[in-house]
Structure 1
Amino acid sequence: MRKFRKDNLVVEIYENRIEMGNSAAEDIADKIKELLAQKDEVRMIFAAAPSQDDMTSNLVKISGIDWNRVIAFHMDEYIGLPRDAEQRFGNYLKKRIFELLPFKEIHYIDNGESDPERICTDYLKKLNEASIDIICMGIGENGHIAFNDPPVADFNDSKLVKIVKLDDVCRQQQVNDGCFKSIEEVPKEAITLTIPVFKRAHNLFCVVPGITKAKAVKRTLEGKISTECPATIIREHHSAKLFLDQDSASLLK
Protein backbone atom coordinates (compact mmCIF):
# COMPACT_ATOMS: atom_id res chain seq x y z
CA MET A 1 0.00 0.00 0.00
CA ARG A 2 1.24 3.45 -0.96
CA LYS A 3 0.21 6.36 1.25
CA PHE A 4 0.61 10.11 0.83
CA ARG A 5 -1.13 13.37 1.62
CA LYS A 6 -2.49 15.96 -0.82
CA ASP A 7 -3.27 19.16 1.05
CA ASN A 8 -5.34 17.88 4.02
CA LEU A 9 -6.45 14.70 2.25
CA VAL A 10 -4.90 11.33 3.16
CA VAL A 11 -4.61 9.08 0.08
CA GLU A 12 -4.07 5.32 0.18
CA ILE A 13 -3.47 3.23 -2.95
CA TYR A 14 -4.02 -0.52 -2.75
CA GLU A 15 -3.01 -3.38 -5.02
CA ASN A 16 -6.61 -4.18 -5.95
CA ARG A 17 -10.17 -3.21 -5.12
CA ILE A 18 -10.62 -6.12 -2.73
CA GLU A 19 -7.78 -4.93 -0.50
CA MET A 20 -9.04 -1.37 -0.88
CA GLY A 21 -12.55 -2.36 0.19
CA ASN A 22 -11.29 -4.35 3.17
CA SER A 23 -9.14 -1.51 4.43
CA ALA A 24 -11.83 1.13 3.94
CA ALA A 25 -14.38 -0.98 5.83
CA GLU A 26 -11.96 -1.55 8.70
CA ASP A 27 -11.16 2.16 8.97
CA ILE A 28 -14.84 3.11 8.91
CA ALA A 29 -15.67 0.46 11.51
CA ASP A 30 -12.87 1.70 13.77
CA LYS A 31 -14.18 5.26 13.52
CA ILE A 32 -17.74 4.17 14.33
CA LYS A 33 -16.52 2.27 17.40
CA GLU A 34 -14.37 5.21 18.48
CA LEU A 35 -17.30 7.62 18.22
CA LEU A 36 -19.74 5.28 19.97
CA ALA A 37 -17.33 5.14 22.90
CA GLN A 38 -17.65 8.93 23.15
CA LYS A 39 -21.33 9.62 22.40
CA ASP A 40 -24.77 8.02 22.44
CA GLU A 41 -25.28 7.73 18.69
CA VAL A 42 -23.49 8.13 15.37
CA ARG A 43 -25.06 9.72 12.28
CA MET A 44 -23.84 8.43 8.91
CA ILE A 45 -24.50 9.13 5.23
CA PHE A 46 -23.96 6.40 2.63
CA ALA A 47 -23.42 6.61 -1.12
CA ALA A 48 -25.24 4.14 -3.36
CA ALA A 49 -23.02 2.96 -6.22
CA PRO A 50 -21.22 -0.19 -7.38
CA SER A 51 -17.95 1.55 -6.45
CA GLN A 52 -18.96 1.20 -2.79
CA ASP A 53 -19.79 -2.50 -2.89
CA ASP A 54 -16.32 -3.74 -1.91
CA MET A 55 -16.46 -1.56 1.19
CA THR A 56 -20.07 -2.20 2.23
CA SER A 57 -19.84 -5.97 1.73
CA ASN A 58 -17.01 -6.00 4.26
CA LEU A 59 -18.48 -3.44 6.64
CA VAL A 60 -21.60 -5.55 7.25
CA LYS A 61 -19.39 -8.47 8.36
CA ILE A 62 -17.37 -6.59 10.98
CA SER A 63 -18.32 -7.47 14.53
CA GLY A 64 -18.35 -5.28 17.60
CA ILE A 65 -20.34 -2.35 16.18
CA ASP A 66 -23.52 -1.39 18.05
CA TRP A 67 -25.58 -0.57 14.97
CA ASN A 68 -28.59 0.04 17.21
CA ARG A 69 -26.96 3.39 17.98
CA VAL A 70 -26.28 4.36 14.36
CA ILE A 71 -28.61 6.59 12.32
CA ALA A 72 -28.31 6.20 8.54
CA PHE A 73 -28.97 8.57 5.66
CA HIS A 74 -28.18 8.42 1.96
CA MET A 75 -26.99 11.24 -0.24
CA ASP A 76 -29.10 11.31 -3.40
CA GLU A 77 -32.11 9.87 -5.18
CA TYR A 78 -33.57 9.92 -8.67
CA ILE A 79 -36.80 11.73 -9.47
CA GLY A 80 -39.32 9.86 -11.61
CA LEU A 81 -38.44 6.19 -11.14
CA PRO A 82 -41.06 3.78 -9.78
CA ARG A 83 -40.71 3.34 -6.02
CA ASP A 84 -39.81 -0.34 -6.44
CA ALA A 85 -37.17 0.26 -9.15
CA GLU A 86 -33.92 -1.46 -8.22
CA GLN A 87 -31.97 1.53 -9.57
CA ARG A 88 -33.36 3.79 -6.87
CA PHE A 89 -30.54 4.52 -4.45
CA GLY A 90 -32.64 3.88 -1.38
CA ASN A 91 -33.48 0.41 -2.73
CA TYR A 92 -29.84 -0.19 -3.69
CA LEU A 93 -28.66 0.54 -0.15
CA LYS A 94 -31.57 -1.30 1.43
CA LYS A 95 -30.46 -4.50 -0.30
CA ARG A 96 -26.74 -4.11 0.41
CA ILE A 97 -26.59 -2.65 3.91
CA PHE A 98 -29.76 -1.16 5.39
CA GLU A 99 -31.65 -4.50 5.56
CA LEU A 100 -28.60 -6.34 6.84
CA LEU A 101 -27.85 -4.31 9.97
CA PRO A 102 -30.05 -3.22 12.91
CA PHE A 103 -29.74 0.55 12.50
CA LYS A 104 -31.44 2.75 15.08
CA GLU A 105 -33.03 4.76 12.27
CA ILE A 106 -32.82 4.78 8.46
CA HIS A 107 -33.88 7.94 6.68
CA TYR A 108 -34.74 7.49 3.01
CA ILE A 109 -34.94 10.53 0.77
CA ASP A 110 -38.10 9.22 -0.86
CA ASN A 111 -40.67 9.35 1.92
CA GLY A 112 -43.72 8.77 -0.27
CA GLU A 113 -44.31 12.44 -0.99
CA SER A 114 -45.16 13.25 -4.62
CA ASP A 115 -43.72 16.78 -4.47
CA PRO A 116 -39.89 16.78 -4.79
CA GLU A 117 -39.62 20.18 -3.10
CA ARG A 118 -41.51 18.84 -0.10
CA ILE A 119 -39.21 15.82 -0.02
CA CYS A 120 -36.22 18.17 0.11
CA THR A 121 -37.75 20.13 2.97
CA ASP A 122 -38.57 17.00 4.97
CA TYR A 123 -35.11 15.50 4.48
CA LEU A 124 -33.43 18.74 5.47
CA LYS A 125 -35.28 18.70 8.80
CA LYS A 126 -34.01 15.19 9.56
CA LEU A 127 -30.50 16.07 8.43
CA ASN A 128 -30.37 19.17 10.61
CA GLU A 129 -31.37 17.43 13.84
CA ALA A 130 -27.67 16.95 14.65
CA SER A 131 -24.29 17.01 12.94
CA ILE A 132 -23.14 14.25 10.58
CA ASP A 133 -20.32 12.15 11.97
CA ILE A 134 -19.32 10.03 8.96
CA ILE A 135 -19.91 10.16 5.21
CA CYS A 136 -19.07 7.10 3.10
CA MET A 137 -18.77 8.43 -0.43
CA GLY A 138 -17.33 8.04 -3.91
CA ILE A 139 -16.35 10.25 -6.83
CA GLY A 140 -18.13 10.26 -10.19
CA GLU A 141 -16.51 10.05 -13.60
CA ASN A 142 -17.16 13.78 -14.00
CA GLY A 143 -15.72 14.52 -10.56
CA HIS A 144 -19.09 14.85 -8.88
CA ILE A 145 -19.78 14.07 -5.24
CA ALA A 146 -23.35 12.94 -4.63
CA PHE A 147 -25.21 14.46 -7.61
CA ASN A 148 -23.32 17.74 -7.51
CA ASP A 149 -22.24 17.65 -11.15
CA PRO A 150 -19.89 20.42 -12.37
CA PRO A 151 -22.69 22.52 -13.92
CA VAL A 152 -24.65 22.71 -10.64
CA ALA A 153 -21.99 22.26 -7.95
CA ASP A 154 -21.60 25.11 -5.46
CA PHE A 155 -19.07 24.91 -2.64
CA ASN A 156 -21.13 27.43 -0.65
CA ASP A 157 -24.61 26.31 -1.65
CA SER A 158 -27.34 28.01 0.37
CA LYS A 159 -29.43 24.83 0.14
CA LEU A 160 -28.30 21.62 1.83
CA VAL A 161 -30.81 19.47 -0.08
CA LYS A 162 -31.90 20.41 -3.59
CA ILE A 163 -33.25 19.27 -6.95
CA VAL A 164 -30.67 19.12 -9.74
CA LYS A 165 -30.52 18.35 -13.44
CA LEU A 166 -28.03 15.57 -14.19
CA ASP A 167 -25.42 16.18 -16.86
CA ASP A 168 -24.87 13.67 -19.67
CA VAL A 169 -21.52 12.42 -18.32
CA CYS A 170 -23.18 11.60 -15.03
CA ARG A 171 -26.11 9.88 -16.72
CA GLN A 172 -23.81 7.87 -19.00
CA GLN A 173 -21.87 6.71 -15.93
CA GLN A 174 -25.04 5.06 -14.64
CA VAL A 175 -25.10 3.06 -17.88
CA ASN A 176 -21.38 2.27 -17.61
CA ASP A 177 -21.98 1.01 -14.07
CA GLY A 178 -24.59 -1.42 -15.39
CA CYS A 179 -27.49 0.23 -13.58
CA PHE A 180 -29.37 1.15 -16.78
CA LYS A 181 -29.32 -0.29 -20.30
CA SER A 182 -29.18 3.08 -22.07
CA ILE A 183 -28.83 6.76 -21.25
CA GLU A 184 -32.44 7.28 -22.32
CA GLU A 185 -33.54 5.21 -19.31
CA VAL A 186 -31.58 7.35 -16.82
CA PRO A 187 -33.66 10.07 -15.12
CA LYS A 188 -32.70 13.65 -15.92
CA GLU A 189 -33.37 15.00 -12.43
CA ALA A 190 -32.50 13.97 -8.91
CA ILE A 191 -32.50 15.14 -5.32
CA THR A 192 -29.06 15.52 -3.78
CA LEU A 193 -27.32 16.63 -0.64
CA THR A 194 -25.09 19.57 -1.54
CA ILE A 195 -21.41 20.16 -0.98
CA PRO A 196 -21.72 22.12 2.31
CA VAL A 197 -23.07 18.89 3.88
CA PHE A 198 -19.76 17.22 3.04
CA LYS A 199 -17.72 20.19 4.24
CA ARG A 200 -19.48 20.19 7.62
CA ALA A 201 -19.38 16.44 8.25
CA HIS A 202 -16.80 15.35 10.81
CA ASN A 203 -15.23 12.49 8.81
CA LEU A 204 -15.15 11.61 5.10
CA PHE A 205 -14.24 8.16 3.78
CA CYS A 206 -14.04 8.26 -0.03
CA VAL A 207 -13.79 4.93 -1.87
CA VAL A 208 -12.92 5.12 -5.58
CA PRO A 209 -11.89 1.95 -7.47
CA GLY A 210 -11.71 1.22 -11.19
CA ILE A 211 -10.12 2.41 -14.41
CA THR A 212 -13.21 4.44 -15.34
CA LYS A 213 -12.46 6.74 -12.40
CA ALA A 214 -8.77 7.30 -13.22
CA LYS A 215 -9.27 10.67 -14.95
CA ALA A 216 -11.52 11.94 -12.17
CA VAL A 217 -9.00 10.85 -9.53
CA LYS A 218 -6.19 12.63 -11.36
CA ARG A 219 -8.25 15.83 -11.57
CA THR A 220 -9.26 15.51 -7.92
CA LEU A 221 -5.68 15.25 -6.70
CA GLU A 222 -3.70 17.22 -9.27
CA GLY A 223 -6.12 19.88 -10.51
CA LYS A 224 -7.07 23.18 -8.94
CA ILE A 225 -9.78 23.16 -6.30
CA SER A 226 -12.88 24.28 -8.17
CA THR A 227 -16.40 23.23 -9.08
CA GLU A 228 -15.08 22.13 -12.49
CA CYS A 229 -14.17 19.00 -10.50
CA PRO A 230 -16.34 19.15 -7.37
CA ALA A 231 -14.45 16.33 -5.63
CA THR A 232 -11.39 18.58 -5.30
CA ILE A 233 -13.07 20.17 -2.28
CA ILE A 234 -12.33 17.11 -0.12
CA ARG A 235 -8.66 18.16 -0.18
CA GLU A 236 -9.63 20.97 2.18
CA HIS A 237 -11.50 18.77 4.66
CA HIS A 238 -9.97 18.41 8.13
CA SER A 239 -10.56 14.64 8.33
CA ALA A 240 -10.84 12.93 4.94
CA LYS A 241 -9.32 9.79 3.50
CA LEU A 242 -9.35 8.62 -0.13
CA PHE A 243 -9.05 4.90 -0.89
CA LEU A 244 -7.87 3.93 -4.40
CA ASP A 245 -6.87 0.78 -6.25
CA GLN A 246 -4.14 0.52 -8.89
CA ASP A 247 -6.62 1.16 -11.69
CA SER A 248 -8.15 4.35 -10.32
CA ALA A 249 -4.67 5.63 -9.39
CA SER A 250 -3.10 4.69 -12.74
CA LEU A 251 -2.90 8.25 -14.14
CA LEU A 252 -1.37 9.88 -11.06
CA LYS A 253 2.12 11.28 -11.37
Structure 2
Amino acid sequence: MTMPASAPAGGIDVQVHPSRAAMGRAAASVVAAKLRRLLQDGGSARMIFAAAPSQAEMLDALVAEPGIDWGRVTAFHMDEYIGLAPDAPTRFALWLRRQLFDRLPFGAVHLIDPGETPAAAAAEYARVLAQAPIDIVCLGIGVNGHLAFNDPPVADLTDPLDVKVVELDAVCRQQQVDDGCFPGLADVPTHAITLTVPRLLRADRLVCVVPGAAKREAVRRALNDRIGAACPATALRRHPAVTLFLDPESNPHG
Protein backbone atom coordinates (compact mmCIF):
# COMPACT_ATOMS: atom_id res chain seq x y z
CA MET A 1 0.00 0.00 0.00
CA THR A 2 1.43 3.33 -1.06
CA MET A 3 -0.29 6.63 -0.39
CA PRO A 4 1.50 9.37 -2.31
CA ALA A 5 1.10 12.94 -1.20
CA SER A 6 2.63 16.16 -2.44
CA ALA A 7 4.63 18.82 -0.70
CA PRO A 8 3.08 22.30 -0.67
CA ALA A 9 6.25 23.71 -2.25
CA GLY A 10 8.83 22.08 -4.46
CA GLY A 11 8.58 18.75 -6.17
CA ILE A 12 9.08 16.19 -3.40
CA ASP A 13 7.29 12.90 -4.08
CA VAL A 14 6.06 11.70 -0.67
CA GLN A 15 5.25 8.03 -0.17
CA VAL A 16 3.77 6.61 3.03
CA HIS A 17 4.05 2.85 3.51
CA PRO A 18 2.30 0.63 6.07
CA SER A 19 5.44 -0.39 7.98
CA ARG A 20 9.15 0.32 8.29
CA ALA A 21 9.90 -2.90 6.41
CA ALA A 22 7.57 -1.97 3.55
CA MET A 23 9.05 1.54 3.48
CA GLY A 24 12.56 0.08 3.24
CA ARG A 25 11.63 -2.29 0.44
CA ALA A 26 9.96 0.47 -1.56
CA ALA A 27 12.95 2.79 -1.20
CA ALA A 28 15.40 0.03 -2.12
CA SER A 29 13.33 -0.77 -5.19
CA VAL A 30 13.62 2.82 -6.41
CA VAL A 31 17.38 2.86 -5.79
CA ALA A 32 17.84 -0.51 -7.50
CA ALA A 33 15.84 0.54 -10.55
CA LYS A 34 17.96 3.67 -10.94
CA LEU A 35 21.15 1.62 -10.59
CA ARG A 36 20.07 -0.89 -13.22
CA ARG A 37 19.43 1.95 -15.67
CA LEU A 38 22.82 3.49 -14.95
CA LEU A 39 24.69 0.19 -15.23
CA GLN A 40 23.13 -1.07 -18.42
CA ASP A 41 25.40 -1.24 -21.44
CA GLY A 42 28.55 -1.09 -19.31
CA GLY A 43 27.78 2.06 -17.37
CA SER A 44 28.85 2.93 -13.83
CA ALA A 45 27.36 4.64 -10.80
CA ARG A 46 28.50 6.76 -7.85
CA MET A 47 26.44 6.83 -4.64
CA ILE A 48 26.43 8.48 -1.22
CA PHE A 49 24.92 6.73 1.80
CA ALA A 50 23.75 7.99 5.19
CA ALA A 51 24.74 5.99 8.27
CA ALA A 52 21.84 5.80 10.73
CA PRO A 53 19.45 3.21 12.20
CA SER A 54 16.68 4.84 10.14
CA GLN A 55 18.36 3.48 7.01
CA ALA A 56 18.69 -0.15 8.15
CA GLU A 57 15.53 -1.53 6.52
CA MET A 58 16.30 0.12 3.21
CA LEU A 59 19.90 -1.13 3.22
CA ASP A 60 18.83 -4.69 4.04
CA ALA A 61 16.36 -4.62 1.18
CA LEU A 62 18.95 -3.12 -1.18
CA VAL A 63 21.38 -5.96 -0.43
CA ALA A 64 18.67 -8.40 -1.54
CA GLU A 65 17.90 -6.63 -4.83
CA PRO A 66 18.88 -8.80 -7.84
CA GLY A 67 20.46 -7.88 -11.12
CA ILE A 68 22.91 -5.18 -9.96
CA ASP A 69 26.59 -5.34 -10.91
CA TRP A 70 27.96 -3.80 -7.72
CA GLY A 71 31.49 -4.01 -9.10
CA ARG A 72 30.68 -0.93 -11.21
CA VAL A 73 29.35 1.08 -8.26
CA THR A 74 31.51 3.51 -6.25
CA ALA A 75 30.27 4.33 -2.74
CA PHE A 76 30.78 7.27 -0.39
CA HIS A 77 29.21 8.24 2.91
CA MET A 78 28.06 11.64 4.05
CA ASP A 79 29.48 12.25 7.51
CA GLU A 80 31.79 10.98 10.23
CA TYR A 81 32.54 11.80 13.85
CA ILE A 82 35.82 13.38 14.86
CA GLY A 83 37.65 12.03 17.88
CA LEU A 84 36.60 8.39 17.94
CA ALA A 85 39.14 5.56 17.87
CA PRO A 86 39.62 4.04 14.40
CA ASP A 87 37.98 0.80 15.55
CA ALA A 88 35.13 2.41 17.53
CA PRO A 89 31.92 0.59 16.55
CA THR A 90 30.02 3.89 16.60
CA ARG A 91 32.02 5.28 13.68
CA PHE A 92 29.74 5.73 10.71
CA ALA A 93 32.25 4.12 8.35
CA LEU A 94 32.22 0.91 10.41
CA TRP A 95 28.43 0.97 10.73
CA LEU A 96 28.08 1.18 6.96
CA ARG A 97 30.64 -1.56 6.49
CA ARG A 98 28.58 -3.87 8.70
CA GLN A 99 25.26 -2.88 7.16
CA LEU A 100 26.26 -2.62 3.51
CA PHE A 101 29.81 -2.29 2.26
CA ASP A 102 31.02 -5.69 3.50
CA ARG A 103 27.87 -7.39 2.21
CA LEU A 104 28.18 -6.38 -1.44
CA PRO A 105 31.12 -6.40 -3.88
CA PHE A 106 31.36 -2.66 -4.52
CA GLY A 107 33.88 -1.56 -7.09
CA ALA A 108 35.23 1.07 -4.68
CA VAL A 109 34.28 2.39 -1.26
CA HIS A 110 35.64 5.73 -0.07
CA LEU A 111 35.44 6.12 3.71
CA ILE A 112 35.87 9.38 5.62
CA ASP A 113 38.84 9.11 7.96
CA PRO A 114 39.26 12.33 9.99
CA GLY A 115 42.74 11.30 11.15
CA GLU A 116 44.89 13.87 12.90
CA THR A 117 43.98 16.73 10.55
CA PRO A 118 40.20 16.67 9.95
CA ALA A 119 40.18 19.81 7.81
CA ALA A 120 42.71 18.25 5.44
CA ALA A 121 40.71 15.02 5.41
CA ALA A 122 37.58 16.99 4.50
CA ALA A 123 39.35 18.71 1.63
CA GLU A 124 40.68 15.41 0.29
CA TYR A 125 37.25 13.78 0.48
CA ALA A 126 35.78 16.73 -1.42
CA ARG A 127 38.43 16.23 -4.11
CA VAL A 128 37.55 12.56 -4.58
CA LEU A 129 33.82 13.32 -4.64
CA ALA A 130 34.38 15.92 -7.36
CA GLN A 131 36.10 13.51 -9.75
CA ALA A 132 32.73 12.62 -11.36
CA PRO A 133 29.04 13.40 -10.81
CA ILE A 134 27.10 11.70 -8.02
CA ASP A 135 24.13 9.71 -9.29
CA ILE A 136 22.22 8.75 -6.12
CA VAL A 137 22.14 9.92 -2.52
CA CYS A 138 20.43 7.74 0.10
CA LEU A 139 19.75 9.99 3.05
CA GLY A 140 17.50 10.72 6.02
CA ILE A 141 16.34 13.72 8.03
CA GLY A 142 17.40 14.38 11.63
CA VAL A 143 14.96 15.14 14.43
CA ASN A 144 16.18 18.74 14.29
CA GLY A 145 15.71 18.83 10.51
CA HIS A 146 19.38 18.33 9.69
CA LEU A 147 20.71 16.83 6.47
CA ALA A 148 23.91 14.89 7.11
CA PHE A 149 25.48 16.87 9.97
CA ASN A 150 24.30 20.27 8.75
CA ASP A 151 22.46 21.32 11.90
CA PRO A 152 20.16 24.30 12.39
CA PRO A 153 20.50 27.18 12.65
CA VAL A 154 24.06 27.32 11.30
CA ALA A 155 23.65 25.07 8.23
CA ASP A 156 24.60 27.00 5.11
CA LEU A 157 22.24 26.18 2.23
CA THR A 158 24.58 27.99 -0.17
CA ASP A 159 27.81 26.69 1.34
CA PRO A 160 30.79 27.17 -1.01
CA LEU A 161 32.45 24.08 0.46
CA ASP A 162 31.56 20.48 -0.42
CA VAL A 163 32.89 18.87 2.77
CA LYS A 164 33.77 20.57 6.04
CA VAL A 165 34.30 20.26 9.79
CA VAL A 166 31.25 21.19 11.88
CA GLU A 167 30.24 21.43 15.53
CA LEU A 168 27.20 19.31 16.37
CA ASP A 169 24.27 20.89 18.21
CA ALA A 170 22.81 19.42 21.40
CA VAL A 171 19.62 18.10 19.75
CA CYS A 172 21.63 16.27 17.11
CA ARG A 173 23.90 14.73 19.73
CA GLN A 174 20.95 13.68 21.89
CA GLN A 175 19.42 11.93 18.87
CA GLN A 176 22.48 9.69 18.72
CA VAL A 177 21.79 8.66 22.33
CA ASP A 178 18.07 8.17 21.69
CA ASP A 179 18.89 6.00 18.67
CA GLY A 180 20.94 3.74 20.94
CA CYS A 181 24.26 4.58 19.33
CA PHE A 182 25.88 6.01 22.49
CA PRO A 183 25.18 5.39 26.20
CA GLY A 184 25.00 9.09 27.12
CA LEU A 185 25.35 12.60 25.78
CA ALA A 186 28.88 12.96 27.14
CA ASP A 187 29.93 10.01 24.96
CA VAL A 188 28.80 11.64 21.70
CA PRO A 189 31.54 13.56 19.87
CA THR A 190 31.05 17.31 19.59
CA HIS A 191 32.49 17.67 16.07
CA ALA A 192 32.26 15.85 12.76
CA ILE A 193 33.11 15.98 9.09
CA THR A 194 30.06 16.39 6.87
CA LEU A 195 29.11 16.82 3.26
CA THR A 196 27.37 20.16 2.86
CA VAL A 197 23.80 20.71 1.72
CA PRO A 198 24.78 22.02 -1.75
CA ARG A 199 27.04 18.99 -2.26
CA LEU A 200 24.16 16.62 -1.50
CA LEU A 201 21.74 18.52 -3.71
CA ARG A 202 24.05 18.30 -6.72
CA ALA A 203 23.33 14.57 -7.01
CA ASP A 204 21.04 13.44 -9.79
CA ARG A 205 18.59 11.50 -7.56
CA LEU A 206 17.78 11.74 -3.83
CA VAL A 207 16.08 8.90 -1.94
CA CYS A 208 15.16 10.06 1.56
CA VAL A 209 14.06 7.44 4.12
CA VAL A 210 12.55 8.82 7.33
CA PRO A 211 10.71 6.43 9.67
CA GLY A 212 9.57 6.82 13.27
CA ALA A 213 7.43 9.11 15.39
CA ALA A 214 10.46 11.11 16.53
CA LYS A 215 10.86 12.39 12.95
CA ARG A 216 7.23 13.42 12.36
CA GLU A 217 7.70 17.08 13.26
CA ALA A 218 10.90 17.32 11.22
CA VAL A 219 9.06 15.89 8.21
CA ARG A 220 6.22 18.35 8.68
CA ARG A 221 8.67 21.24 8.81
CA ALA A 222 10.63 19.98 5.81
CA LEU A 223 7.47 19.99 3.71
CA ASN A 224 5.89 23.18 5.01
CA ASP A 225 8.36 25.60 6.58
CA ARG A 226 10.11 28.38 4.74
CA ILE A 227 13.25 27.05 3.04
CA GLY A 228 16.16 28.01 5.25
CA ALA A 229 18.73 27.05 7.86
CA ALA A 230 16.18 26.80 10.67
CA CYS A 231 15.21 23.46 9.11
CA PRO A 232 17.91 22.40 6.64
CA ALA A 233 15.71 19.59 5.25
CA THR A 234 13.52 22.25 3.64
CA ALA A 235 16.31 22.51 1.04
CA LEU A 236 15.14 19.19 -0.38
CA ARG A 237 12.31 21.12 -2.01
CA ARG A 238 14.90 22.77 -4.27
CA HIS A 239 15.84 19.46 -5.88
CA PRO A 240 13.94 18.21 -8.95
CA ALA A 241 14.12 14.48 -8.14
CA VAL A 242 13.47 13.65 -4.47
CA THR A 243 11.34 10.83 -3.10
CA LEU A 244 10.57 10.91 0.63
CA PHE A 245 9.68 7.52 2.11
CA LEU A 246 7.71 7.52 5.37
CA ASP A 247 6.06 4.98 7.65
CA PRO A 248 2.77 5.65 9.48
CA GLU A 249 4.58 7.01 12.54
CA SER A 250 6.59 9.62 10.62
CA ASN A 251 3.68 10.70 8.43
CA PRO A 252 2.69 14.21 9.58
CA HIS A 253 -0.73 13.78 7.95
CA GLY A 254 -1.47 10.43 9.57
Unmatched 5+ stretches in structure 2? none
Aligned 8 A contact 2:138 2:206 in 1: yes
Larger mean Cα displacement after TM superposition, 221-230 or 189-198 = 221-230
Aligned 8 A contact 2:222 2:233 in 1: yes
Aligned 8 A contact 1:152 1:164 in 2: no
Q: Residue 163 of structure 1 corresponds to which residue in structure 2?
A: 165
Aligned 8 A contact 1:146 1:193 in 2: yes
Q: Residue 40 of structure 1 corresponds to which residue in structure 2?
A: 43
Q: Which amino acid aligns with 1:192?
A: T
Q: Residue 144 of structure 1 corresponds to which residue in structure 2?
A: 146
Distance 2:42 2:79 in 1: 27
The Cα of 1:199 is off from its aligned counterpart by 1.6
Distance 1:156 1:35 in 2: 29
Q: Residue 236 of structure 1 corresponds to which residue in structure 2?
A: 238
Distance 1:87 1:136 in 2: 19
CA pair 239-38 structure 1, distance change in 2 beyond 3 A: farther
Question: What is the 5 A alignment of 1:212-227?
Answer: 212-227=214-229
In the alignment, which of 120, 130, 133 is matched to residue 131 of structure 1? 133
Deviations 1:90-115 (A, max 9, x none): 0000000000111110000117x311
Distance 1:22 1:41 in 2: 23
Distance 1:16 1:96 in 2: 20
Deviations 1:180-199 (A, max 9, x none): 01000000000000001122
Question: What is the 5 A alignment of 1:81-230?
Answer: 81-110=84-113, 113-230=115-232
Q: Which amino acid aligns with 1:207?
A: V
Q: Residue 75 of structure 1 corresponds to which residue in structure 2?
A: 78
Aligned 8 A contact 2:153 2:231 in 1: no
Q: Which amino acid aligns with 2:178?
A: N
2:6 is the alignment partner of 1:5: yes
The Cα of 1:46 is off from its aligned counterpart by 0.2
The Cα of 1:38 is off from its aligned counterpart by 6.0
Deviations 1:128-174 (A, max 9, x none): 10010000000000000000001321111011100000000000000
2:21 is the alignment partner of 1:14: no
In the alignment, which of 30, 33, 44 is matched to residue 33 of structure 2? 30
Distance 1:147 1:252 in 2: 26
Distance 2:149 2:164 in 1: 10
Partner SS, residue 237 of structure 2 = helix
Aligned 8 A contact 1:36 1:42 in 2: yes
The Cα of 1:60 is off from its aligned counterpart by 0.4
Distance 1:230 1:56 in 2: 24
Unmatched 5+ stretches in structure 1? none
Q: Which amino acid aligns with 1:104?
A: G
Distance 1:190 1:178 in 2: 18
Partner SS, residue 144 of structure 1 = coil
Identical residues among aligned pairs (%): 49
TM-score (norm 1): 0.97
CA pair 199-18 structure 1, distance change in 2 beyond 3 A: same
Distance 1:30 1:39 in 2: 16
TM-score (norm 2): 0.96
Partner SS, residue 106 of structure 1 = strand
